[in-house]
Amino acid sequence: MRKILHIDADSFYASVEAREDPTLLGRPIAVGGSAQRRGVIATSSYEARKFGVRSAMASSRALTLCPDLIILAPRFELYREVSGQMQRIFRGYADLIEPLSLDEAFLDVTGSDCCNGSATLIAQEIRQRIKNELQITVSAGVAPNKFLAKVASDWNKPDGVFTIPPDQVADFVLDLPVSKINGVGKVTAKNLAAMGVVTCGDLQRVLVADLAKRFGKYGRRLSEVARGVDDRPVQSWRIRKSISVENTYAEDIANLVGVLAALDPLIEELERRFTKVEKSYFPTKRFVKIKYRDFSQTTLEQSVGSSGESWFDSEQFRQLMAAAWPRGAKPVRLLGAGLRLQPLRSKEQAQLSLF
């Protein structure tokens, strides 16, 4: 039986900003782009959330909901630094740490002898140290696997901890809404609801075969998770599936000519970012993403040829974009360009080399 912690900072960017300027404490604040430049909210303080302000919401809408909202420009360097400090604290408690984002990580503390081996006490000690040393709060979930630990860290957020001991897993999942399962978005939740499935308890009553028929490979995973089973290991090194660059434009790009003209800077930035991972991955596909004025979006991808052209060949990206844009044929607010990646030393290659 494993002991897994999931740690997630509370309103991370906003909490760091409030720590830097304590006059902001207790006030509705957000970090994001300015409303004039059609920015979006990255995150907001819990005071702002009371007004309905949410991540990914247009800043202009956030200001309508909460006229006193203070929107601060993001300072990613600062957040990265705090993230590194959090991870340094984690390393005092676990060898196996899987960061999911700047403010979130899984820790496997199964064999740990800290705090008499109590995972809940470890979680509390980590929370206390982060509060004392970094002046921000984090919430923690403690459970026998990653799925439940992540659900648990959200349970008493903000500044809370929640433990699901192994002998309570069966009871806990019965009433858990399926929408809490990673990967169950609005569409899947609706499909499940149409089958009469709202909670994991409901889901347990559906035959695996029926789930597999309906959801393919994901059906089997749904069925396991509904029972509180999740065997995924905590992985300190996660495989990256793609790399991309996107930009939201201050003014809509009216037509395809404008779209094509906007592409080059994106590809340049993509190339720059790729150099950071080029030792571990090679690209398999190019893709482009378009978000139109009405927020509808489309992506189109194409295998990278073996004809020796550069991965960042702007003519190839241009052709993709020219094929994708007519799908909506509307002014564009966001463009993205990226590469799907394959690890250079994938398991298959390692196995092949054995023979």
Q: Nearer Cβ to Mg ion, position 8 or 202?
A: 8
Q: What are phi and psi of 241, to 5 degrees?
A: -100, -20
Handedness of CA 152, 155, 161, 166 (dihedral sign): negative
Q: Which tokens sit at 29?
A: 């604040």
Active-site residue flag, 315: no
Instruction: Work out which of 8, 108, 202, 230 binds Mg ion, going by CB under 5 A.
Output: 8
Beta carbons within 8 Å of 239's beta carbon, 6+ residues apart: 343
* Segment 81 to 120, residues that bind Mg ion, using CB under 5 A: 103
3-class DSSP state of 127 = helix
Beta carbons within 8 Å of 21's beta carbon, 6+ residues apart: none
Q: Nearer Cβ to Mg ion, position 40 or 206?
A: 40
* Segment 281 to 340, residues that bind ligand DCP, using CB under 6 A: none
Q: Nearer Cβ to ligand DCP, position 283 or 336?
A: 336
Q: Least distance in Å: CB of 20 to Mg ion?
A: 17
**Options 17, 47, 98, 104, the catalytic residue:** 104
Instruction: Work out which of 5, 9, 105, 123 binds Mg ion, going by CB under 5 A.
Output: 9
DSSP 182: T
Alpha helix positions (H), 21-105 = 46-49, 59-65, 76-91
- Tell whether residue 8 is a contact of ligand DCP (CB under 6 A): yes
Distances (CA, A) of 126 to 5, 89, 120, 318, 353: 10, 7, 10, 49, 43
Q: Nearer Cβ to ligand DCP, position 157 or 221?
A: 157
- The total of other beta-carbon atoms located within 10 Å of residue 345's CB is 10
Q: Nearer Cβ to Mg ion, position 100 or 262?
A: 100
- Tell whether residue 45 is a contact of ligand DCP (CB under 6 A): no
> Which of these segments, 101-109, 223-231, 294-302, 341-349, binds ligand DCP (CB under 6 A)?
101-109
Q: Nearer Cβ to Mg ion, position 9 or 152?
A: 9
- Tell whether residue 10 is a contact of ligand DCP (CB under 6 A): yes
Q: Which does 112 bind (CB under 5 to 8 A by kind): Mg ion, ligand DCP, none?
A: none
- Tell whether residue 17 is a contact of Mg ion (CB under 5 A): no
- Tell whether residue 48 is a contact of ligand DCP (CB under 6 A): no
Quote the strand ranges of 76-173, DSSP E: 96-101, 104-108, 138-143, 161-163
Q: Which does 55 bind (CB under 5 to 8 A by kind): ligand DCP, Mg ion, none?
A: ligand DCP
Distances (CA, A) of 254 to 136, 300, 319: 43, 20, 18
User: Rounded to an integer, what is the distance from CA 240 to the centroid of its chain?
Assistant: 13
- Rounded to whole angstroms, how far apart are CA atoms 8 and 158? 9
* Segment 141 to 200, residues that bind ligand DCP, using CB under 6 A: 157-158
- Give the footprint of ligand DCP on this chain (CB under 6 A): 8-13, 42-43, 55-56, 101, 103-104, 157-158
Q: Which residues are catalytic?
A: 104
- Give the footprint of Mg ion on this chain (CB under 5 A): 8-9, 12, 103
